[in-house]
Amino acid sequence: MQKYEATELPSALNKIDQLLEGKKPAVFLDYDGCLSPIVQDPNKAFLSEAMKTTLRQLADVCSVAVVSGRDRADVEKLVGLDNLYFAGSHGFDITGPGGMQTEPGDASRALPALDKAAETLHERLQDVAGVVVERKRYAIAVHYRNVTDNQIERVKVTVDDVLHEHEELKKGLGKKIIELKPNMDWHKGKAVLWLMNELDLNKPEIMPIYIGDDITDEDAFASLQEQKYGLGILVGEHDDKTAATYRLEDVDEVRQFLEKLTQTVK
């Protein structure tokens, strides 16, 4: 599998025809940092009206799914559109039009460990100013964006200690976030491939496109690259090399790209 520096990637913005190769797109997108800017308070990561309109119009002409680390119900509420598919908790909880509702990956087995780990983290980090321990259905997100530099290492060590107490869980990294997730072979990439199979998108005339900004999106980029079809588009950059092959600068460029994509498909 090939990986690149984000700065090496060409922009996808004005290459719609080249990217599609005459095919119809199927679009998968992360939420935070992709559809909505990263903000200090995750509860205030709202979708702009312009982006919402763009997503609605795109979903009228091709399959569109939001694949997020957020709880599925949370991201579904933030987007507020009923013609999209939603894969929450890194793909452990999926819903969509036509009554689709499934929880692939068998993550329910990890729920007791997640409950106990969340309780322990709240107890051990309660005196760390700025830390947020967010309990999701199938994950725990420890946000340290607002923690002072001299306390960040303590947060990281505490998370590692709790992880060692629960073999049912594994670590996931994001931008100023550490996640505790079910220790199972399931991630955003597998969720994308599951959706493609379920929606009958594994066809020569379909071009899967995954757009994301974070390290957790690398599983989806890698899955498409390993399938030898489809493409990944990185928004901005993160701390590692990427399996994406194109780049967009920010949320505004994502909106512009999706608008051009809609016009091309029409």
Mapping DSSP to helix (H, G, I), strand (E, B) and coil, where does residue 27 land? Answer: strand
84 in Cβ contact with 65 (< 8 Å): yes
Per the annotation, the verdict on 30 as an active-site residue is: yes
Measured distance CA(245)–CA(231) in Å, rounded: 7
Nearest CA among 244, 195, 196 for reference residue 216? 244
Catalytic residue among 30, 93, 217, 219: 30
Q: Are 3 and 241 in contact (CB under 8 A)?
A: yes
The DSSP letter of residue 48 is P
User: For residue 26, what are the β-bridge partners?
Assistant: 208
Inter-residue contact 208 to 199 (CB < 8 Å): no
Closest by CA to 83, choosing from 101, 68, 64, is 64
* Helices and strands of the chain, counted as H and E runs: 8, 12
DSSP H stretches of helix in the chain: 16-20, 49-59, 72-79, 111-125, 149-164, 188-198, 218-227, 251-265
Hey, which residues are catalytic here? 30
